[in-house]
Amino acid sequence: MKLVVHKYGGSSVADAQKIINVARRIGRVRDSGAQVVTVVSAMGDTTDDLIKLAHTVSQEPDPRELDVLLSTGELVSCTLLAMALRDMGYDAVSLSGFQAGIHTDTTYGKARIYGVDAQRITKELDRGRLVVVAGFQGITEAQDVTTLGRGGSDTTAVALAAALHADRCEVYTDVEGIYTADPRIVPEARKLLEIGYQEMLELASSGAKMHPRSIELGAVYKVPIYVASTFVDAPGTLIHQGPDEHQMENRIKVTGIAYQAKIAKITVRGVPDRPGVAASLFEPLAQAGISVDTIVQNTGMERMTDISFTVNRSDVPRALQEVQKVLPVIGAAEVVTDPSLASVSIVGAGMQNTPGYASRMFRILADGGINIELITTSEIRISCIIKEEQVRQAVRLLHQGFHLDREP
Ligand code: ASP
Ligand code: MG
């Protein structure tokens, strides 16, 4: 029998009527003869509200207690959904993350799944039941409740689909899928019918926002993930392995335009050009848990060089603190920051070996009067760091310039 995992986000189960609507949808899939495991997020803004509630009694809520508190949000939605299904005559059972066998490490608030023991779910499915699982939560070896990080129910769903060898994981949300650009910035952005995992990871800002770990998991275990709207009956986007592979070289090379705001650039000036300097600079940043993205070192002049790198804007004070400490150690002159930058990227799996994409991107930005501060490339993207105030315009110009509004 076909087995599918469905996942419904918080806005899809925000109130009683919406939960009943979801129950009807699941019932229809069951009626068509499939087994269904459903993963739910907490109702509406429940998780935010619970975090606020914790802060009313504690300035810095204890991580272990906070995770138990947050896990209750998903317990509410999964039990209500099971009740609604039973009311419609379906045999349904809800399971907490613990009962569903989601085993995690002990990093409260950001736990990683190290394994799924699917015995209980399999037993319930074998009894002919619909299974509803509380998303976003798991259990440590010591049987403490953990949560997977904000938006983590997607990862629960894909992990279950992988463990159960489900035919696919269907993620239902309040948008219709993944687009060639963020539709709030580019109204003519096109919905993509399919996209590869790697491209999806890059296009996370374009339409349905998914927990990045769910996409990584999907890629590793080859779980096809279908993202569509709970509310609109329209085709969604299938995230799967390489649409690039079967269409080979005929495929349009740029799939979409991604962007990221709130980026800051930190430049260390007058750095002596000798071995060990970069290591001395970046080691303390790594130790402080600050993730550094783009790094550029200029060619040295008179044995001096500049090193620039980008961090999230919110990490600037901490990063500066670390850099100030090593300045005298490495003998650098000064550090300067530019806190209001953003990145804009063209993304596509086939770009790598085709010359001309980078130059075309730079020309489009130049014609729009947009100055490029830094450039980085990877196998499937070319990114430019630009002024934040120009990022929306850059996304629009690139979308137009690469003709993404047209059907391929
Ligand atoms: N309820 C959790 C959150 O809001 C998990 C999720 O929605 O996936 O982050
Ligand atoms: Mg949520």
**What is the tens place of the pLDDT at every residue in 281-340?**
999 999 998 999 889 988 767 788 999 999 999 999 999 999 999 999 999 999 999 999
Each residue's pLDDT tens digit, 44-75: 999 999 999 999 999 999 999 999 999 999 99
Each residue's pLDDT tens digit, 82-132: 999 999 999 999 999 999 999 999 999 999 999 999 999 999 999 999 999
pLDDT of residue 10: 97
State the sign of the Cα–Cα–Cα–Cα dihedral 350, 355, 361, 362. positive
User: What separation in Å is there between the alpha carbon of 361 and the centre of ligand 2?
Assistant: 36
408 contacts: CB under 8 Å, gap ≥ 6: 251, 252
Q: Which of 45, 74, 171 to mutate to test the pocket of ligand 1 (most atoms within 8 A of CB)?
A: 74
Query: Amino acid identity, residue 292?
Result: V
Superfamily the domain 3-174 falls into? Acetylglutamate kinase-like (3.40.1160.10)
Burial 289-322 (b: 16+ CB within 10 A, else e): ebebbbebeeeeeeeebbbbbbbebebbeebeeb
Please state the rounded mean pLDDT for residues 14-31.
98
User: What separation in Å is there between the alpha carbon of 52 and the centre of ligand 1?
Assistant: 14
Helix axes 316-330, 277-287, angle to 10 degrees: 150
Provide the 3-class DSSP secondary structure of residue 141: coil
CB 37 within 8 A of CB 5: yes
End-to-end Cα spacing for the chain? 36
Each residue's pLDDT tens digit, 139-167: 999 999 999 999 999 999 999 999 999 99
Superfamily the domain 256-401 falls into? VC0802-like (3.30.2130.10)
- Closest residue by CA, ligand 1 atom 5: 151
Instruction: Give the ligand whose atoms come closest to the C-alpha of residue 40.
Output: 1
Dihedrals phi, psi of 249, to nearest 5 degrees: -80, -5
- The proportion of the chain whose per-residue pLDDT surpasses 90, expressed as a percent, equals 84
Residues whose beta carbons lie less than 5 angstroms from ion ligand 2:
10, 41
d(CA 144, CA 280): 38
Q: Indicate which atom in ligand 1 lies nearest the CA of residue 152.
A: 8
d(CA 133, CA 153): 10
d(CA 260, CA 388): 9
| Domain coordinates in residue numbering, the chain | 3-174, 256-401
Residues with C-beta less than 6 Å from any ligand 1 atom: 10, 41-42, 47, 73, 135-136, 150-153
Q: Do domains 3-174 and 256-401 have the same CATH topology?
A: no
d(CA 180, CA 79): 37
Q: Which of 47, 66, 210 to mutate to test the pocket of ligand 1 (most atoms within 8 A of CB)?
A: 47
Helix/strand/coil percent split, the chain, to 5? 40, 25, 35
